[in-house]
Amino acid sequence: MMRECKTDLPVFVPLVQEPWGVLKTLNVARQNVLGIIPKIATTQPIVSGKTGKRWHMVMDPAALRHILLDRLADYPKSQVTKNLLRPAIGESLFIAEGAHWRWQRRAAAPAFSHRNVANLGPIMTTAAERAIARIEAAAPRAVNMLDEMVATTFDVISDVTFSSGQQFDRAAVHRAIDQYIAEAGKISLFDILGLPDWMPRPGRVMSGQALREMKAMADRAITARPAPKAGQVPDLLDLLLAGEDPQTKRRMNTAELRDNLLTFIVAGHETTALTLAWALYLCAFDPAIQRRAHQQARAVLGNRAATVDDLPRLPLIRQIIDETLRLYPPAGIISRTALKQDRLCGRDIRPKDTIIVPIYALGRHHLLWDKPDAFDPSRFADPKAIDRYAYLPFGDGPRICIGASFALQEAVIILASLLARFEFSAITGKTPKPVMILTLRPEGGVWLTAKPL
């Protein structure tokens, strides 16, 4: 099949051409962590440096497999990630290591099984319908689709965790989470580069108010939860409550349940919204692809919102999501700390070295992708053609994102529903800028006009 060949490129972050001193690195990182990735990270398999501590950026698929799969225990998550998230989500699945991670992962796994995720589909469809109604009401004014998608994915995550007709203050939860993400973002990811401790860092102290509210809300949801009635579809909280590690028979106590519930909300809500916002930006950027996607969605859906059963007939929508996650991975950088002496791509790795996986640079690597900065969903037409460890929007190995299929199902349902109903157009002078603080966000929002079709 002929490839789309739009000659201009969607927005990208200009990467660093020459080595910088510590201070300049610090200043750039404060504004945009992606700005510290050197350009050669998109042409070399490994880039090493020392900014206080020794670090290595790894872009070689075989070495990444070694770190994330074969030698998992020797490369735990770096302290910085853990320190950043621990106040909100305790020693939950995202943070824990070793046996404490393993039993929680086994206990939570059934909640994310194919069948259970599919059962949550109607909640995603309803959220898509609500988004359509809001956008329709706003037309023909320009809409900030980032805000719309944050509202939409929040509908989903709150309905799959705090549902069952319980009373809860949706707006308050939303405020608490957004405030937490904004505050945590200020702390930023400097320590990834091992900057010395005396370096000033912004806003290290969090107000704690947002966190307390969030935790209290989750505790109430857990203790007030009635056992699901026969025939009722269990939501994520029901499934987590029922979860048990088949090996140790251990079940989560209230504090562990709460920490994991909050993990799902924090890890799953904004990331999926960003994916959708960037996907819509890309569709407006490339009207020819948007037209084809609209035709596919319209042929399958007519005027209704998409359901789980429609997914197999929406391959182009799925490819657009896959390609969006390559170009704008919400988790743009992940990091690990080496525990043991090792060798990666011919380099010596010493204990305590920081390993950076710049997922953003990996997706745009010249040795791994043809025309890496171009938007071309057809590269994902045959998933087998993709080198697994060259494409890591969800990480990989045993610690791969537990919510990956949940997020993909949600993103395809919502994107297909929107593209079937609207034509989205870019607004001159309103191009978003990719900025990564905690996640890779479109700074300035994704302002589009939405013409009902």
Stretch of residues binding ligand HEM (CB under 6 A), selected from 40-48, 201-209, 211-219, 389-397: 389-397
153-172 in b/e form (b: 16+ CB < 10 A) is: bbbbbbbbbbbbeeebeeee
Residue from 52, 185, 194, 330 in contact with ligand HEM (CB under 6 A) = 330
Give the dihedral of Cα atoms 88, 92, 98, 103; nearest 10 deg: 170
Stretch of residues binding ligand HEM (CB under 6 A), selected from 36-44, 214-222, 399-407, 415-423: 399-407
Q: What is the DSSP string of 155-206?
A: HHHHHHHS-TT----HHHHHHHHHHHHHHHHHHTTGGGGT--TTS--TT-S-
Is residue 363 part of the contact set for ligand HEM (CB under 6 A)? no
Is residue 268 part of the contact set for ligand HEM (CB under 6 A)? yes
Residue from 20, 94, 103, 278 in contact with ligand HEM (CB under 6 A) = 94
Q: For ligand HEM, which is the closer residue by CB, 20 or 243?
A: 243
Question: CA nearest 222: which of 236, 208, 210?
Answer: 236
Residues from 270 through 329 that contact ligand HEM (CB under 6 A): 271-272, 275
Stretch of residues binding ligand HEM (CB under 6 A), selected from 19-27, 129-137, 262-270, 371-379: 262-270
Is residue 218 part of the contact set for ligand HEM (CB under 6 A)? no
Is residue 401 part of the contact set for ligand HEM (CB under 6 A)? yes
Residue from 36, 331, 362, 412 in contact with ligand HEM (CB under 6 A) = 331
What is the smallest separation between the CB atom of 264 and ligand HEM, expressed in angstroms? Answer: 4
Residues from 219 through 248 that contact ligand HEM (CB under 6 A): none
d(CA 42, CA 326): 13
Q: For ligand HEM, which is the closer residue by CB, 20 or 64?
A: 64
What is the smallest separation between the CB atom of 419 and ligand HEM, expressed in angstroms? Answer: 18
d(CA 89, CA 120): 24
* Packing angle, helices 315-327 and 254-285, rounded to 10: 100
Q: What are the backbone angles phi and psi of residue 434, rounded to the nearest 5°?
A: -70, 120
Is residue 45 part of the contact set for ligand HEM (CB under 6 A)? no
Q: For ligand HEM, which is the closer residue by CB, 195 or 331?
A: 331
Question: CA nearest 285: which of 136, 446, 434?
Answer: 446
Q: Residue 140, preceding bond cis, omega within 30 degrees? A: yes
What is the smallest separation between the CB atom of 405 and ligand HEM, expressed in angstroms? Answer: 9
Q: For ligand HEM, which is the closer residue by CB, 143 or 189?
A: 189
Q: For ligand HEM, which is the closer residue by CB, 363 or 393?
A: 393
In the complex, which residue's CB is closest to ligand HEM?
A: 403
Those residues with Cβ within 8 angstroms of residue 74's Cβ, 6 or more apart along the chain or in another chain: 338, 339, 340, 342
d(CA 271, CA 64): 22
Residue from 263, 290, 324, 354 in contact with ligand HEM (CB under 6 A) = 263
Is residue 77 part of the contact set for ligand HEM (CB under 6 A)? yes
**Residue 160 has which token pair?**
């799959």
Is residue 413 part of the contact set for ligand HEM (CB under 6 A)? no
What is the smallest separation between the CB atom of 449 and ligand HEM, expressed in angstroms? Answer: 25
Residue from 328, 391, 406, 424 in contact with ligand HEM (CB under 6 A) = 406
Q: What is the DSSP string of 345-406?
A: TTEEE-TT-EEEE-HHHHHT-TTTSSSTTS--GGGGSSGGGS-GGG--TT--GGGS-TTHHH
Is residue 407 part of the contact set for ligand HEM (CB under 6 A)? yes
Cα radius of gyration (the chain) = 21
Is-contact 155 130, C-beta < 8 A? Answer: yes
Which residue ranges make up the site for ligand HEM (CB under 6 A)? 77, 93-94, 105, 263-264, 267-268, 271-272, 275, 330-331, 334, 393-395, 399, 401-403, 406-407
